[in-house]
Amino acid sequence: MITRLVPAPGDPVLPDLLEPGLRLVFCGSAPGAVSAARGAYYAHPGNRFWSILHQAGLTPRKLAPAEYPSLLRHGIGLTDMAKHAFGNDDELPPGAYDPQGFATRIRAVHPAAVAFTAKAPAAAFLGRRTGAIPYGHVEGPGDFPAVWVMPSTSGQASRFWDARPWLALGRWFNENRR
């Protein structure tokens, strides 16, 4: 049984994992219900996030969702486009995405790159349709870190799963050390 965590009004569902000097920040849409309940990013057992991080060489071993704060030691941060809502993309209330708040948070810590873990948050930030955005490295704002768009690791997005963009990001990450 999962006990649902209820953040205080105005508090994010999950806290950002951000600090200056990061090499890479992952940005998802919003925490899923299981992640919100467990207080950990990508916590649903069917989510591939933690496995692909290890497979792509971004972490030395597969981390458990509760270990997400340890990503900072690897130069990796986490955030979401919707900080005050949780659930599947189609369950989020209108206006849940905050592209301006996201951009402000990223510019404050200035990582080398940002990787969206699905097309929906990338589309919200880039102002493009999801169908017009390819996976991999994409053109972002000129005053912004490098932008990558990854296939969603959610089990609900299995039909779109392709590890190749994640593996390319891992190669870039390991070849471009700060």
What domains can you pick out in the chain, each with its CATH number? 24-175 (3.40.470.10)
The two structure tokens encoding residue 50 = 């933690």
What pLDDT, on the 0 to 100 scale, is given for residue 68? 98
Residue 156 pLDDT more than 90?
A: no
- What is the mean pLDDT of the segment spanning 68-91? 94
Residue 4 pLDDT more than 90?
A: no
What pLDDT, on the 0 to 100 scale, is given for residue 160? 76
Residue 73 pLDDT more than 50?
A: yes
Indicate the average pLDDT of the chain: 91
What pLDDT, on the 0 to 100 scale, is given for residue 7? 54
The two structure tokens encoding residue 129 = 């349709």
pTM of the model: 0.92
Residue 18 pLDDT more than 90?
A: yes
What are 80-113's pLDDT values in tens digits? 999 999 988 888 888 999 999 999 999 999 999 9
What pLDDT, on the 0 to 100 scale, is given for residue 126? 97
What are 118-151's pLDDT values in tens digits? 999 999 999 999 999 999 999 999 999 999 999 9
What are 21-64's pLDDT values in tens digits? 999 999 999 999 999 999 999 999 999 999 999 999 999 999 99
CA distance 100 to 88: 21
What pLDDT, on the 0 to 100 scale, is given for residue 9? 58
Cα-based distances in Å from 86 to 3, 14, 42, 51, 66: 15, 9, 12, 22, 18
Identify which of 156, 160, 101, 158 has the alpha carbon closest to the alpha carbon of residue 130. 160
